[in-house]
Amino acid sequence: CKGCDNELGKWENIAAKAFRQIREESKGDSLGEYKLKDVSGDEILRFIAGLLWKYSVASKENGRIDLGPYQDLMEGLAFSLQQIPSSIDALVCRLRRHEGDDDVFAYRAPKPDRQEGVNGYRVLVGGMFIFVKTDKQTPKGGALERSAIRGKSDLPYVLLRAQDFEEYRLSAELAHEGRLSDFLDKQDGQ
């Protein structure tokens, strides 16, 4: 509804600006871990919570996901300033196709996933691959443990090769072998 979109729009604007800045600043950088100064990890988490919540209330035809016990929590995080619990966190990765890449090559709706021993969702938005932890378990080593964004005043992100992720490979295969409608049908589970 209009009221929800207006409320969520503030987080979306913050995320769009941050993701644009990451895309621009990461051109030419080496692969690795970085921080975007003066961008709150919690504000990006609220954007992600809003995105997940919107998909949880969407129709099945529009990609509904089941957040289970986390649906109300995501709604609360997106629409209020309630404290973000330790069960919610995220890893933001800039997937870069080549050294000078500052483009957004694809988007992907949230999909359930498991990384570093924790459950969550993966999404590709604004040129960023985001793994959202929705689990009380603690990550078992790796990038999520080192570069999680909850509570950070400078947004951690990881610069990685897009070619190592299915999100890039699927869009590349589509561009070279298939039709857009085939790809979208596959995303909708048809």
Rounded to whole angstroms, the Cα distance separating 53 from 64 reads 9
Q: Sign (positive/negative) of CA torsion 169, 33, 157, 21? A: negative
Residue-wise pLDDT tens digits, 102-148: 888 788 899 999 999 999 999 999 999 999 999 999 888 788 888 99
pLDDT of residue 181: 52
Q: In this structure, are residues 92 and 21 in contact, taking their beta carbons and an 8 Å threshold?
A: no
Rounded to whole angstroms, the Cα distance separating 83 from 156 reads 19
Q: In this structure, are residues 55 and 110 in contact, taking their beta carbons and an 8 Å threshold?
A: yes
Average pLDDT over residues 155-171: 89
| 172 confidence band (pLDDT: 50, 70, 90) | low
pLDDT of residue 45: 97
Q: Is the pLDDT of residue 190 over 60?
A: no
| 189 confidence band (pLDDT: 50, 70, 90) | low
